[in-house]
Chains A and B, each alone.
Chain A
Amino acid sequence: MTAVPQTPRPATPEDRFIRRFITPEGTDLRLTLGSGGDRAAAFVLDVLIIVISLILFTIIVGVIAASAGLKNAEPWGIVWLLGFFVARNGYFIVFEAGPRAATPGKRMLGLRVAARDGGRLTAESVFVRNAMREIEVFLPAVFLLAANTAGDPVEGWVVLLGLVWTGAFLLFPMFNRDRLRLGDVVAGTWVVKSPRRALVVDLAASQSGGGFAFTPEQTAAYGVKELQVLEDVLRTRDKRTMAAVAERIRGKIGWYRQADERDEAFLTAYYAALRRRLEHRLLFGHRRRDKFDKA
């Protein structure tokens, strides 16, 4: 694979989780890494799914085995044991090796697993990253449980040291930039955001801009940053925000409000005009970052 991930210094705090990721075609896909919170939430969801399905599974198998009678219960004992084993060890592996590369919990939070080098995600990688969960989650849990049963002080200290030691594994993702957990380190994977995003209407496409004619000076008041804030405002469509923003813009460009002028119509028209101007300038090589930019 020729895709080479690089990690440039973050420009802004929001860019902290964005990683350059060049495809073989030479385009940067700008992957966003899953944040620690998202991943923890996904894990909790997955554990809930496992526990609930195991409870249901136990009830179902129990009922069937009971109705089959003690003599014929043997196969159901096997089914139950294997079910437990598969749920604990196989759940993550099966889902992450699938075409979506995500467990149901990850999918709900818009996350997926990907190979760090941009290559394909192999079954071995998925196996390894989930086998490492044993020391990341299972061992700390064992020590936590042992803390309750520790009899004498020495044993208590041993348990505490064990907890600290394994806790370091559990908290590992919080101490590296790429939010890698141990399994990710060993498997060469990372978890990226990949939410479904719908194609929304182009705000500049609506033909309601009639009746508004802005002078070049009026459209020269703002830059790209303000344009995108305006886009956000128009997509959110909160009446009070739109009124406030419209008022600010009218003041800045010296626009006299007509009697029947609606804020949304004014803003949409101004957005279209501003974008037209900025994109026109963009074609000539001038990207005006914000209103303070003199380009």
Chain B
Amino acid sequence: MSEQGARELKSHCFRAEREGDWRKLERLLTKAEGGRPQRLSASELMEIPLLYRSAVSALSVARATSLDASLVAYLENLATRAYFFVYGARARLPERLARFFRHDWPAAVASLWRETLIATAILVFATGVGFALVWSNPDWYGSFLPDALAGGRDPTATTAFLKDTLYHPAKDQPLSVFATYLFTHNAGVSILAFALGFAFCVPTALLVADNGLTMGALMALFASRGLLVPLGGWLSIHGTTELFATVIAGAAGFRIGWAVMFPGPLTRLEAARTAGRTAGAAMAGVVIMLVAAGVLEGVGRQVIRLDWARYAIGGSMLALWLAYFYSPRRKLT
């Protein structure tokens, strides 16, 4: 027996020979994970995949031949970290953004067209219901617009007052702060509407419908005073963007809820993930749309007081979004 014959352990020789490479890989990874991969030189970046492969092969060898548990654990850890870096390597931020705007966002929204139609139908229907109910009996108004939200715009208000709310901004709030507030509030609600989709679509539908009811009630009140056209301008300047964003958020929620309920040939988990990928891109876009809506509502609406100009802006924004999302484009792989 060779108890004394083999002066050095084979596994120890193996480690001594490779240790330098492992430590080098560890050093590069620490640098790369430090948040600024661009600090790595080009040659260092090229080296990581090579070192990663040698670490992975070392791991296989170590598992088969070494009984040093700490060494195997170290290599497992090192190989995993390197794996995430090598295979997780993403394009740089500008490229990712460009891809998002050129392809991912419109493609995601376009593929949600069925859900978008459903959400639109719910919104329109709820608006009609809200309108009809308040038109036939103004008592309904308070159920759709709580006093806090109405801000004096209720059936007891004078026509002159109602007209005033359409053209004169609230004096106590600076425009840009107001716009920012509207954006953060709306974005929060949209994200909630999206997340609620997971609960089998119903809460999302309710949230979208709630939007419609409020709008319908408001329209009925103003219509009863012959102010429907000015109100339309007041709503549409930002509303085409904001409501479209709400509808897309609802559609994204529907997609996920539907995938969870009816996964089809995929497993439920797989279906949820596929739906999540599309819905996620669409939702990131919704946040951007709401920034635009916030600016239009907080600033544009307060500065532009002409009905036709408000309609024109609202209409062209809608046309812009529709063209951006649904116009045919080349497929990006």
Contact = CB atoms under 8 A, between A and B. Distances in A.
A46 B281 CA distance: 25
Contact of A279 (B26, B66, B199): B66
Contacts of B1: 216
Interface residues of B, number: 78
A114 B181 contact: no
Nearest to A218: B3
Grouping DSSP codes into helix (H, G, I), strand (E, B) and loop, the A interface class, with mixed when no group exceeds half, is helix
Interface stretch (A50-58, A98-106, A247-255): A98-106
Interface string A186-230: 111000101111111011110000000110100100001001100
A124 interface: yes
Interface in B33-55: 33-35, 37, 53
A188 B9 contact: no
B69 A231 contact: yes
B284 interface: yes
Contact of B67 (A124, A169, A275): A275
Interface in B42-87: 53, 56-57, 59-60, 64-71, 73-74, 76-81, 83-85, 87
Interface stretch (B131-139, B160-168, B190-198, B318-326): B190-198
B81 to A, nearest CB: 6
Contacts of A118: 87
Contacts of A89: 187-188, 191
Contacts of A205: 9, 12
A202 B177 contact: no
A172 B180 CA distance: 35
A85 B183 CA distance: 9
A133 B23 CA distance: 39
19 contacts: A23-B83, A25-B53, A77-B174, A77-B177, A77-B180, A85-B184, A89-B191, A125-B277, A127-B283, A135-B192, A185-B272, A186-B273, A199-B23, A202-B15, A202-B68, A231-B68, A278-B67, A279-B67, A283-B10
Interface of B: 1-4, 6, 9-12, 15, 19, 22-23, 26, 32-35, 37, 53, 56-57, 59-60, 64-71, 73-74, 76-81, 83-85, 87-90, 96, 100, 104, 174, 176-177, 180-181, 183-184, 187-188, 191-192, 194-196, 198-199, 256, 269, 272-273, 275-277, 279-281, 283-284
